[in-house]
Every structure is written in structure tokens, then in C-alpha cells.
Amino acid sequence: MNQEYIIPNAWSIIEEGWNPSQVKSSESLFSIGNGAMGQRANFEEKYSGASFQGSYLAGVYYPDKTRVGWWKNGYPEYFSKVLNAPNFIGIDVFVDGEELDLATVQAVSDFRRELNMKEGWYERSFVAHFSDDKAIQVVARRLMSLEIDELAVMNYQVTAVKGDLRISFQPYIDAGITNEDTNWDDQFWEVEELLSEGHQGLVRSRTNKTNFYVATFMQSELIKNGEHLQYAEHFDQNDTLIRHKAVCDIAQGESVTLIKYAGYVSSLNHEHSDLFNAAKAVLHKATALGYESLLKLQADSWTHIWAMADISIDGDLKAQQGIRFNIFQLNQTYSGKDSRLNIGPKGFTGEKYGGSTYWDTEAYCIPFYMATKDQQVARNLLRYRYEQLDKAVENAKKLGFSSGAALYPMVTMNGEESHNEWEITFEEIHRNGAMVFAIYNYIRYTGDYRYVPEMGLEVMIAIAKFWHQRATYSQPAKKYMILGVTGPNEYENNVNNNWYTNYLAKWCIEYAVEHIHKVKKYYPADYDRIMAKTKLTDRETIEWLEVAENMYMPFDEELGVYLQQDGFLDKEIIPVNELSKEHRPINQKWSWDRILRSCYIKQADVLQCFYFFEDHFTKEQLSKHFDFYEPLTVHESSLSPCVHSIQAAKLDRMDQAYQFYLRTSRLDLDDYNKEVEEGCHITSMAGTWMSIVEGFGGLQIIDDKPSFTTKLPQQWTGFSFKINFRHQIIEVQVTSAGTKVSLEGKHAQEIILNGEHITLEPQLVNA
Amino acid sequence: MNQEYIIPNAWSIIEEGWNPSQVKSSESLFSIGNGAMGQRANFEEKYSGASFQGSYLAGVYYPDKTRVGWWKNGYPEYFSKVLNAPNFIGIDVFVDGEELDLATVQAVSDFRRELNMKEGWYERSFVAHFSDDKAIQVVARRLMSLEIDELAVMNYQVTAVKGDLRISFQPYIDAGITNEDTNWDDQFWEVEELLSEGHQGLVRSRTNKTNFYVATFMQSELIKNGEHLQYAEHFDQNDTLIRHKAVCDIAQGESVTLIKYAGYVSSLNHEHSDLFNAAKAVLHKATALGYESLLKLQADSWTHIWAMADISIDGDLKAQQGIRFNIFQLNQTYSGKDSRLNIGPKGFTGEKYGGSTYWDTEAYCIPFYMATKDQQVARNLLRYRYEQLDKAVENAKKLGFSSGAALYPMVTMNGEESHNEWEITFEEIHRNGAMVFAIYNYIRYTGDYRYVPEMGLEVMIAIAKFWHQRATYSQPAKKYMILGVTGPNEYENNVNNNWYTNYLAKWCIEYAVEHIHKVKKYYPADYDRIMAKTKLTDRETIEWLEVAENMYMPFDEELGVYLQQDGFLDKEIIPVNELSKEHRPINQKWSWDRILRSCYIKQADVLQCFYFFEDHFTKEQLSKHFDFYEPLTVHESSLSPCVHSIQAAKLDRMDQAYQFYLRTSRLDLDDYNKEVEEGCHITSMAGTWMSIVEGFGGLQIIDDKPSFTTKLPQQWTGFSFKINFRHQIIEVQVTSAGTKVSLEGKHAQEIILNGEHITLEPQLVNA
């Protein structure tokens, strides 16, 4: 953990001072993106020090041949890789013929980075000293346009601090890039065509195997004293790179700026043959608007986002900065416009985890997008899974399931499983339950029941079939059991009767049957279509219910708690706080077998069920289970603290809730796990949002009405947030004086505030 | 399975007819070796068809960088590879300038292979037709000398069948070889020096990383009509290969023979600088003896081996051939002369499994070598583990154990773990118990108690420490449990309380304590040395015993059987014979998760304990457990049928015992698993021997006396075997008329024969 790294600020992430050992971490933290593409905060100019280069294009991946020791039947053929895409940010800079490289210049001073979250740009500035009488100041700002999501703009200003200097800018695009993460050192990209025309450069490349076609493009302008300068159309080119050159002499004190418009267009959105034209159209639009207008449009776009998504916290600057960073990154990662995309665990900030979609989306991310954007965004996330249902059925078939049972993949880019640890791929099947929970959560929140007959019911049926087939009847217990699973707590593998899994399975079946009946009654045409497609019989649903009704639930009478799995109490139970520090984190300090036979819990497991189905349990039950399981939890997943923060708040343990909140919200900014250089923990950021809205704000949906049970951590003087509830905006402002709730919309909305039913009229109500 | 493949014969393995699709399988079956080296039956001359090249040098390996998906703490850095060593068998043959290649000649006729097990040589003969008027007959015999274990000899005779022909032999050694099995396509060998002198060729190479130095050498003689011919010292050479040339004209009907002496000398046995001299010394000795004498010496060596190790079976030629093939291969693989070597699962017949030493040695192989060779051989196998004790302690330390606890590796070449599936490496810890069982078994059989104070006790103490630390006290059960293990049945992973493991653990502790007391009393000097070294305290052994005495043993009262593990009865229990054929073998047809949650057993697990500790249980108990577990066993390990054959015989289920026997003894000859091309199942061959001696012969050691309970399968008219018991030879001959036992030795020996105590006098007794 490094709490001194980032300077606290309400709206910006700021780093001051030149520290080469922090470059890779800052490259992650200062990443920018616009939902369609994103990139790490690599330097524009050459940098020969340690760096982790990354530009990423949503939906473009490579199926890298799986690497395992011994093959096991059912393993997927490949592990998908997030692809480092061609570099378009590059601007090599020469000062009197000497190349600018912060790793080799005489000295660097006044180094500063700022990620301005309010307006959506990233700026880096510094003074580079080449010799005692030669120095330049650089101010390099860039943005990825939300308005034109194929476009990025760089504004690279050089000022002669010492000396009259000749500045040579060499903007380039480089398609000769590689991944840090590759199993077999395969080549991921092939370059197809390079084209240099005037001040434009274009490269079309193709991904191997997946055949995504991408045109990377650039166009530059040179500006001095507000005037566009003409410069020669000089360029170099090799098999994978186009480099232009713009030279300008400046006197001491003068500045010159290179503006570079660049970006990607891809075959996801254009015809292969039309890519260069599409790129030129983007460049035409961008240069017509110009840098200042694009900067303004960017600020406007972000103003629009913040108007809905902002959370303000008073009296705690670090907490404020943390939550805004989380909200900012989530919006950079996923805009919800494209139902083919999803939310990668590292977003556009790194390569790790090799897929875009985990159950994180359904369990942690949907509430955020549902409440801070139009409900269509959440619907698109659900639709993503619906569109991949066939592949989930295929996946289950590979494992021996039949007649349309579906197992959604643990990790995926396109619906196919692309993870290959048997204990995860084959056994962490609770993920299937999260798919149905997300549908339930969506309908509960939005009231958009149409989704069920349109798409949701087919998913529910396929998943109910899976659970039915996956259960085993235990003769001794006279109950159905689910053997050989891994729960959310991945520090247990191949256990029997993980309570969370069994509970979800039972619930999934019952929920599916409930909605089969409902669709039959209210949407008979859809019902007929779905029954014809799924060939579901009454007999089969009766068998499902037999399994659901007789599902085994491990429970200890003496303790009065559900057991994480069979045999859990046979372990040596020692609370985490009695474990000496040298043993932690256990995933780094202990061998895998020691972790497995220990009682320690990686992230909420039993408590995840209490989170999902809060209303199925009493507060006393929650309290008892929290008291038993939390002390055994090491929170070594980024998804762990948020659930515990919410539950601690429910239980009025505000100090604990606050500590968990801080840990989740500043996980990356304070680099808790000393790994931020690999990228940020994007999906857990949605959990941070939940800790405030569902934890301190106590949001629940009860009988179609939002309910808030608000609690103010003593470290804060107040906080406020908004939610988009069924096309109207509800704002909640909590201070020590009480809670104010207001409504922006057209018609009255009934809510529950701290237990009281209230009708909000548009534009003013408080309590 | 292919029962028509090998022609039944009492003393030879014979294949007739040319079938290119069988070449790789035959390369495995006709392998030859001498304990120090061995090789697949690759052709001497060029063969451009499908082939699997393999020459192996005992103790020479490569630590190939581990290949896994996600790294887990405690994984070993490397997975050792059995190395394909330089090729010294090569003799390219040209007929009138046309190269002999069975894949491209006009026709092949009279193709025949014979592996003569009685005399220890391999011969291949065929007629190759180049055109309608040009054909040769080849008779190529070769052997790996038992007498001079660095030497192989090839006798390659060519006869002009049609036409007067110019035969050009090009004997070569080729160090530019690769492995089929490599994780990262690393280069395993570097060539250091090549030397061609007269008709000798020598190449010295070095293995990368492990730095074994090996000189591969050859020398050739050309013989026609019994006369040695002079031929020019012509040679070619490149970076990795030396090729000589010997040309001879023969008229139709005449023959010419190339004799090639070749082999390896290595830095395991010689100074690096002296390797070429050592090679020349071998060649000098070999050529001085000449081919015929070497052939005679080889037959003598095998006569000596068979005199002790042969088992004869009357009335069942296939069963006879099967057992001799097993005994032959075991003797080719391990001679017991060198305590640094061990018995690889594929011996010298393939690359698979990547290590020489598994628990197979202790559980399955020691009885064979103990009874058919001098007891020093078995002692060397025990000593191998003693010498690797430090590395086993290190291995346990990596996993979190302390104060000298040892965990022997699952797979090893040099004592370090070199396997990396967590469920095996970290969890299949029962292997530790087999180390102690082997000591117990050795002492019981040989009476060589000296081994305990000298070496065995240290091993026992380190292993008892491991079990003590590995056990967990279960509060609910008030018992010690062993959580998170994989038993011998590898179709269950990470289970709690595998009964076999718990039973072994308890026994290991009690056995260690018993011998600590015994050594203290009878070998006080050794005791003091060992206590000083291990720092064992009385308090610690009291704690051990507390664990042993309170070890939890899963047992089902209703069924009256010990349970393979916790929760076993929650599975769906359907006997294997009710499983339709399309599902088998399940390890090929089912996904891993389906296998794991099924009740199916790969190899003896609970029954392995009944095998090890036969005398701890009643016949009724055995019967009950056999009836419960065998029907659930799929026998998908080559180590499975033998144990079940022995137990079926004990239970007088002779038909079943016979079927299991056939399956184990002809596993490779009939290619049961359609995989013999990868190599033979060497370690399970020792199990085949046990099926006869311990199954049908009923050998047990009871109170220092051999006991035989003999049973004759109805398919046989008789069988006989010998055992070396404490330096005297006992021969047992079983026919339908009864059992004859005779003794070769110097003093009387009490035995138990079918329940009766008998004193055998040297040279004649019967019953």
C-alpha cells in the first residue's frame, strides 16, 4: 500500500514528481478510454525505461492456444487474450537532433500528471533538461472522445525553456506491437496495408485466427502562436510503421504544439474494404472540429455522465477522490451502447485475465449501470448473455449435459469458455446462478418484464435444466446434493454442497418455474414459441421442482449457521486476526494445499447469498452469519470488501463498513495489493459504488418501490447520490441533520425512506 | 485391444508380416535394454514412415520448464523429461546407389520380428524388393549387453536375393536428436566434440541445464563369407553427426554383414575429460571379444536371470508369454546395480511420465526385485529414497511443513518434485506412506533389520513428522482428520479423509515409534546419532501418537465398510457393468468434473490398504470390501488389475482372478488401451509378477517364514516360480495334483504351505 502516491483532490488524480519506478503503476492509474477503446498512460515520446505498453480495442481478442500441464477432457482449446493493439499515440521528439527520452535526459523536473475526471482528459507535463543550456517544457494532454468513439486526440506542446531550439516531431503509428501476456509467443497481428497521404497515415492490420480487421490512423497539425504551420510531407515507412516529420524552430520562451488526431476503426463496425474510408471520415470530422472543440465536447459528455452518476462525499477528500475514480473508470470501460461488449476485469488498463466477461458483470456491475444510465444499458448486458445462450448450451454439452442445459463460461470473449483450470472452468458453476439473479435484479429494478418473454425465460429454462441435471440424489441424506463444486470462495476446490451454490440452484429452478407460468398466462404467443424451441415438458419441470424442494442445505444446528460446504467445521477454525502478518496475503505466502485445507475465505461466499437474497433472511441471521464468516475472510479478492461493507452498514457496524469502503474505493489509488502496474480492478469498482448506494444509502427495491435506509459514517459530514429509477431521477442527500430526497421527473414516485412510505412529487420532497 | 498382433510363443515375442501402421507399437514392444540404457526398436536403416525414435540413458534427464495455466505457490520449477539420447543404431544402406527405406521400396515381404527373451536379443528380417530384378534380404539382430552395460551390438546381414549388387553400408552416430515430449521446444543437448578415427566414431555431447556429459561411440566391421573385409576410412561429418562408409559387391545368393559396436559412456560413471578414452576401452573390449562371444555372453547372462526369475505356466501359452514378457522387461529396465537409478513407468520404451521414480517402485516393484534378485537390489531401491531425504524435507518445507518433516515427491529424477498438477503434487500424499511400507516389507522379507538403524529410521521419523503436522483436529468429530487429499484413486481430488491415506498415516506413526524404541534398545549408538540429527523429543512422539490413536476412519455402519472418503455414499452408486460401453474408458469419454463426482474408481484405493495390510483384516472384511468397491472400479490405471487379481484369488474367485491376471500380463502385448506405441507399462509388470506369486502362489511372510497358499486357475495345468528368500532359493510348483516345494541352499527353512508348517531341507521336500 502506498498512501502517499496520489495527491488527494476531489476531481482529479494527480501525481507530482518524477519517479521512474512508478511509471508502470501510473500507466495503469492514468489510463483513458471511451467504452470502445482505451489505453494505458504510456508516453507519446520515446521512453527507454520500464514500461508496459497497452492500447486496447473493445471486442478484439485473440484465442491463444491453451497452456496446461496435462490435458483434461472438456478443457477449452484456447484462452482468450486481450490484445495490445497498434500504437497510435507515438510522437518521437528531437531537440536539436537529440531524442527526448526521460530515461536518458540529463534531468527531469516539474513532472506532473493529472487525470481530470470532470472533463475527461489526461495531461502530463515536465521539464526535460538536455544539458545545462538546453531544456524544454512539455505539456501533453490527450483524450479519447466520448462523442466520436473511434477518435483520440493528443495535444503535445513543447516550450523552449533554455536555448533557441529546433524541435522535430515525428508522429507515427506502429502496428508492430506484441503482448506482454502470450502463451506461445504467437504473432497476434498481421499488417495488410500501409498508406501515407499528406499528413495522414493509415495502417490496416488483421488479427490472426479471429480475423478482426483494424485500421489505425493519424493526422497531425503543427501550431505555433495559434497559427497552423505548413510542414513538408516527409515520411518514413517500414513493414509495420508509418512515421511523419514536422520540424519547427523556436526561440527561448516560445512554444510549438503538435496536435495528433488518431484512433481505430474496425471490422466490428465497418466493412473490411471500407476501413480506410471510414478512418478518413473520422479524421475529416475531427480536423474540421479541431482540438478545442473536441476538448469542449469531451467536457460536455462528462458533465452529462456526472450529472447522473456522481456521488459526492463531504468531509473526506480521499473517500471523495476514490469514489469518483471508480465511477470514472467504469464509464471509461463500458458505455452500454454495444450489446456485443462487456466489462473486462481490467477494462482498458491491462492485459490480465484474458477475457472481457466474468460473473462480475451480473453480480457486481449491473446495479451500477442500471442506476446511473438508461435501463437500456443494463438490458444490453443481459442481452449479451442471451445472445451467447447457444454457446453456453454447447459448453454444457462438452461436459456431458443434454437437452439444452446451459453452463455459461467462467471467462469469455464470445460466449465460448476460455479458462482452463478444472476447478474453476468445470466446477465454479455458481456463475450460472448469477445470470438468473441478474435478470431478477433487472426486472425488480426496472419493471421491464417484457425482457422475460423476449429473452430471459429461455436463459432461465436452460439454466434450470443444468441445475436439475447437475444434482445428485444422496441415498443416505434422502436429499439432492450438488457435488464437486468451487464456490465464490476459490480457496476451496471440488467441495460438496457449497451452500451458496445449492441455494442459488434451488432458487433458479423455482424462479424459472414461476416465470414459465407467468409467461404462459400473460404472453401466450411467446410461451408457445419458447416451448416449441426448448421442448420443455411438464414432466421435466415437475422433476426440477422435486430437486429444488429437496435440495440439501448444509447447516449446523449448534452454531445456527449455514455451512459454506460439507465438512467445513472439520477445519481448524482460527480467525484471521490471530494469523501473524508474515502469513499474509496467504495466496502469496502459502502453498495451495495449505490454503485449501485452511478455513480462510477469499471473498464473500455464504455472505454472497445473504447479499443477493437479503430479503430471504432476518437481520439476526445476517448478524450471526457475518459474525461467523467475516472473521475467517482474508478479502484477497477485489470483489470482497464491498459486500462486507454493505452488510456491516446494514448491521450498524459503521466503522467496519467505512474501513471496507475505503479499502474497495482506494484499492488501486493506494495500490493495496502492490500490483496496480498490471492494471486497475475495474469490475470491483462497481462494488465500490454499491457500498455507498446499497450500503450507506441502503437502497433496496421493495414491491416496486425504492427503499433507502441511510447511514452516515462518522468520518463524513455528508454524502449524496442519484439513481435513475424507471426513467426518473431520485437524488438522495444524507447529512448528520437527516436525509433529503428529491425527484426529477414527470410523475410522483412512492419510496420508502428509513422505513417510512413517502410519495415524492417531482422536484421537491424531504424527510 | 488386438489379440492377433503378437504370435504366441513361450520364449519369444514374434510379429510376422509388414504392417506400417504397427511400426510405432512394435518399436515399443520390441524395445531392448540393460538397466543402464535402452532403446525402442527403431530401424537401423532409414525409414521415412511414421516412427517414434527413442534411445535412453538411465539417470540422464532434462529439467524442462514447467508448463501450467496459472501458477500456484509450491509448484516445482520444472517437469523432468526422459531424454532421447544420441542415435547410435543408425546404418543407412544403399543398394546399387538406391537407399533402402521400407516406406518407399517397391515391396516388402517376409517381414518378421523376434524378441528372444531367453537369450536377450532382438532380430528383424525381411526381403526388400527394389524392382522386379533387384531384391535383398536383411537379417538384423541386435543386443544391449548385460555383461558390458555401456555396449550394444548390431549384426546387420544383407543377402542378394535377386541380382548381383553393390551394397553400401553407412553406419553413423547422430547427436542431433530431439524429444517428442518437450514443453517449450528447448534444445536439450549440445554437441561438444566429434572425433572420427579409423573405423571408430565418437561424439561427446552435454545436456543443457543438467550438464550430463555423454560420449556416444561406434566402430564397425565388414564381414563376407566369415572373413573380415578391409574397407576405406571414408567418413562424412557435420556439427552433430559422424557417418562412415563400407562398400561391398555381392553376387546373387551371397551375403555381407556389417557389425556395429556402439554405446554410451557418461559422466555418471567417468570423468568428463576421460569419456573418449572410456569409450575406446569399451570398443577395444567389444571388438576383442567379437560378436559371437558377446551373443554367447548375453545368453549366459539371461540364463542366469531366468534361473532365478522365471515363472512357467503350463497349458496356457498366451499367459506364459505374457508373464515372461513382463519379467524380461523388468530386468531390461532395472538391474539394481546402481542405487542412483530407479524404475521409470515406461522404462526405456518411451518418453512419457517424465521421471524415473513414482510410488510404483515402493508399492509394486520392490517385491519383484526382492524375490528374484539378491536382496541388495531391493536395499538399493530403499537407499535411493534415503539419499533423497534432504530433498523430501525441502519439498515439505516449500509447502509449509517444518522441523524435518518430509514429503517425498510424486515424480522425480533426483529427489526434487517434478510434477505440477496441484491435486497430485500437493495432495496425493499417500505416496509418503508407501516409502515406509517398503521398508517394512523389505525387513519382513529379508530380515535385514540393520537397514533400520543405518537409514530407514531417519526416513520413518521424517515421514511421521509429516503426518503429525498434516493432520487437523476436528472439533465436531473429536478426531484427527487428514483434509484435502487425493488417494490412489486419482478420480477423486481434494477429498477429506481418504481412508487409505488416514490408515497409512496412523500406521506410519505407530511403526516409526515402535522402531525408535527398538533402535534405542538394540542400536544405542545409531539411536544417539539419529536423535542428534533429527532433534526428536519424547514430547513430539507423544503428540504423534495422540494423532495416530485418534485418527478418524470413515466407516459406514450399515454397509460395514470403510469409506473411500467422506461423503462417498452421497454419490450415485451404479456398478460399472451397468454403464454402457460408449461411456468407457471414462477418462477418454467424460469431462473431468463428471469423473470427479461419479463413484468410479481408477485403481485400488480402499483395497490397496487391504493389499498392503492383508494381515490386519479378516477374509470376511476383505470379501465385503471387495464386493463393494471392485464393481465400482474401472481399472483405468495399469496398476489396478494386479491387486484385484491377488484379492480375487484370496477370495477363491478364480475366474475373476484369472481375467485380471490376463489383463495385467498382456496389457501391452494385446495393446488393451490402444496406446502401446507410447511405450510399455513397465512398473505395472511387477504387479503381474505379484498376481502369480502372491495371488495364485499366495506368498506371504508370516513370522519370518514364507507362507504359500496355492491356487491353480482352471485354465492352467500347472505353474511354477522361485523366490530368493534370505539367500536360499525356494521353488514352488503347482499342478492339479498338488504343490511341490523345494529348496536350494545350505540350511533348512521352515515354511507354511497351505496352512501347514513344514521344514524344507535343502534339495528336496514336497507336500
- A604-645 residue pLDDT tens: 999 999 999 999 999 999 999 999 999 999 999 999 999 999
Write the DSSP symbol of residue B87.
B
Q: Which three cell numbers stand for residue B434?
A: 508407501
CB-nearest partner of A591 from B79, B400, B570? B400
Cell numbers placing B193: 566434440
B353 to chain A: which residues are within 8 Å by CB? none
CB-nearest to B570 from A426, A474, A572 is A474
The answer to whether B502 touches B552, Cβ cutoff 8 Å, is yes
Instruction: Over range A719-742, report the average pLDDT.
Output: 97
Span B204-244, pLDDT tens digits:
999 998 999 999 999 999 999 999 999 888 788 999 999 99
CA atoms within 13 A on the CB side of A398: 20
Instruction: Specify the pLDDT at position A765.
Output: 42
Cβ atoms of A79 and A61 closer than 8 Å: no
Q: Inform me whether the pLDDT recorded for B344 exceeds 50.
A: yes
Beta-carbon separation of A593 and B421 below 8 A: no
| CA–CA dist B723, B731 (Å, integer) | 7
- Say whether B733 sits in a helix, a strand or coil: strand
pLDDT of A67 reads: 72
Is residue B79 within 8 angstroms of chain A, CB to CB? yes
pLDDT band, residue A333 (cuts 50/70/90):
very high
Residue B631 φ then ψ, to 5°:
-65, -15
d(CA A44, CA A259): 12
Distance from CA of B384 to the nearest CA of A (A): 27
User: The C-alpha cell of B144 is what?
Assistant: 544391449
Q: Which residue has the cell 477374509?
A: B619
Count of pairs with CB atoms under 8 A, one residue in A, one in B: 128
Residue in chain A lying closest to B428 (CA): A593
pTM score of the predicted model: 0.93
pLDDT bucket at A673, cuts 50 / 70 / 90? confident
Whether residue B748 lies within 8 A of chain A, CB to CB, comes out as no
pLDDT, residue A71, reads 76
- DSSP structural state of residue B167: E
Q: How far is the CA of A742 from the CAs of A696, B296, B673, in angstroms?
A: 17, 105, 74
Q: What is the DSSP pairing of strand A749-753 with strand A738-744?
A: unpaired
Q: Provide, as residue numbers in chain B, all residues whose Cβ is less than 8 Å from the Cβ of A73.
A: 587-592
Cell 528383424, residue located = B124
On whether any CB of chain B is under 8 Å from the CB of A585, the answer is no
Which candidate from B475, B495, B590 shows the least CB-CB separation from A73?
B590
Mean pLDDT lowest among A28-37, A77-86, B104-113, B166-175: A77-86
Active-site amino acid positions of A: 490
Helix-helix angle A499-522:A524-534, to 10 degrees: 130
Give pLDDT tens digits for A15-26. Answer: 999 999 999 999
Residues from chain A contacting residue B74 (CB–CB below 8 Å): 591-593
CA–CA separation, A163 and A254 (whole Å): 10
Q: Is B72 on the interface with A (CB under 8 A)?
A: yes
Contact between A469 and A401 under an 8 Å Cβ cutoff? The reply is yes
What's the pLDDT at B29?
98
Mutate one of A495, A569, A570 to test the B interface: name it (highest B CB count within 10 A): A570
Sign, CA dihedral A664-A667-A673-A677, equals: positive
Residue of A nearest to B427 (CA): A593
pLDDT at B2: 74
Mean pLDDT of A368-375: 96
Closest Cα in chain A to B79:
A69
Verify whether the Cβ–Cβ distance B597 to A66 is below 8 Å. Answer: no
Chain A residues with beta carbon closer than 8 angstroms to that of B592: 72-74, 422, 426
Kindly determine whether residue B569 and residue A474, on different chains, have CB atoms separated by under 8 Å: yes
Q: How far is CA B436 from the centre of its chain?
A: 20
pLDDT at B765: 42
pLDDT band of B767, cuts 50, 70, 90: very low
CB-CB: which of B79, B587, B597 is closest to A483?
B597
Residue owning grid cell 420443455: A536
| Cα–Cα distance measured from residue A136 to residue A114, given in angstroms and rounded to the nearest whole number | 19
* DSSP-derived 3-state class of residue B204: strand
Please state whether A493 falls in left (phi above 0), alpha (psi between -120 and 50) or beta.
Answer: beta
Q: Is the pLDDT of residue A767 over 60?
A: no
| A591 contacts B73? CB cut-off 8 A | yes
User: How sure is the predictor about A764, in pLDDT bands with cuts at 50, 70 and 90?
Assistant: low
Q: Are strands B255-266 and B189-197 parallel, antiparallel or unpaired?
A: unpaired
Angle between helices A619-629 and A640-650 (to 10 degrees): 140
Q: Are the CB atoms for A156 and A44 separated by under 8 Å?
A: yes
Which stretch of DSSP H or E encloses residue B646?
helix B640-650
Q: Edge-to-edge, what's the strand order for the sheet holding B98-99?
A: B98-99, B91-95, B165-174, B241-250, B234-237
Q: A591–B398: do the CB atoms touch at under 8 Å?
A: yes
A386-425 pLDDT, tens digit per residue, is: 999 999 999 999 999 999 999 999 999 999 998 888 999 9
Q: What is the secondary structure of B290-331 as a DSSP string?
A: -HHHHHHHHHHHHHHHHHHH-EEEES-HHHHHHHHHHHHHHH
By three-state DSSP, how is residue A394 classified?
Answer: helix
More confident site: B557 or B763: B557
Decide if A596 and B74 are in contact by the 8 Å CB cutoff: no
Cell of A651: 448491521
Three-state DSSP state, B335: coil
- Mean pLDDT score across all residues of chain A: 95
Average pLDDT on A438-466 reads 98
Candidates B593, B594, B596, B599: best to mutate against A (most CBs of A within 10 A) is B593
**ipTM surpassing 0.85, yes or no?**
yes
Report yes or no: B73 at the A interface, CB cutoff 8 Å.
yes
Please say if the pLDDT value at position B71 is more than 80: no
pLDDT at A578 > cutoff 70: yes
What integer is the mean pLDDT of B60-85?
Answer: 81
Instruction: Compare all CA atoms of chain B with the CA of A559 and give the residue at the minimum distance.
Output: B476
Neighbour tally for B127: CB within 10 Å: 18
Residue A68: closest CA among chain B residues belongs to which residue? B68
Q: What is the mean pLDDT of residues B684-701?
A: 97
Q: What is the DSSP letter of A692?
A: I
- How many angstroms away from the CA of B563 is the closest CA of chain A? 13
Query: Looking at residues A225-232, what average pLDDT do you find?
Result: 91
Instruction: Indicate whether A741 pLDDT > 60.
Output: yes
Q: How many CB atoms lie within 10 A of CB A252?
A: 14
Residue B277: all three cell numbers together: 578414452
- Interface probe for A, chosen from B423, B591, B599, B636 (most Cβ of A below 10 Å), is B591
Contact B454, B467 (CB under 8 A): no
B70 touches chain A (CB under 8 A): yes
A208 C-beta neighbours (distance < 10 Å), count: 13
| Interface contact A50, partner B, CB < 8 A | no
Task: Judge whether A255 and A263 are in contact, CB under 8 Å.
Answer: no
Report the distance separating Cα A327 and Cα A665, nearest Å: 10
CA dihedral A445, A451, A457, A462 (to 10 degrees): -90
Residue B17's CB: how many other CB atoms inside 10 A? 12
Q: Does A550 touch chain B (CB under 8 A)?
A: no
Q: What per-residue confidence (pLDDT) applies to A181? A: 79
C-alpha span between A193 and A214 (Å, rounded): 11
Closest residue in B to A421 (Cα–Cα): B69
Tell me how far apart the alpha carbons of residues A695 and A685 are, in angstroms, rounded to a whole number. Answer: 14
Q: Examine the pLDDT at B410 and tell me if it is beyond 80.
A: yes
List residues bridging with B481 in a β-sheet. B472
B763, B743 Cβ separation under 8 angstroms: yes
Catalytic residue numbers of B read 490
**B586 to chain A: closest CA residue:** A73
Between A74, A475, A591, which is nearest B74 by CB? A591
For chain A, give the percent of residues with pLDDT over 70. Answer: 99
Confidence of residue B330 (pLDDT cuts 50, 70, 90): very high
pLDDT of residue A501: 98
pLDDT of residue B622: 98
Burial track A562-598 (b if 16+ CB lie within 10 A, e otherwise): bbbbbbbbbbeeeebeeeeeebeebbeebbbbbbbbb
- Which percentage of chain B shows pLDDT scores above 70? 99
Q: Determine contact: B483 vs chain A, CB below 8 A.
A: yes
Lowest mean pLDDT among A277-281, A325-329, A386-390, A663-667: A663-667
Longest CA span, chain B: 90
User: What is the rounded average pLDDT of the residues A708-726?
Assistant: 97
Smallest CA–CA distance, residue B507 to chain A, in Å, is 22
pLDDT of residue B64: 82
Helix (H) or strand (E) holding A511: helix A499-522
Round the average pLDDT of chain B to a whole number and report it: 95
Specify the pLDDT at position B74. 79
Confirm or reject contact between A421 and chain B (CB < 8 A).
yes
Tell me the C-alpha distance between B86 and B175, whole Å: 4
- In three-state secondary structure terms, B606 is helix
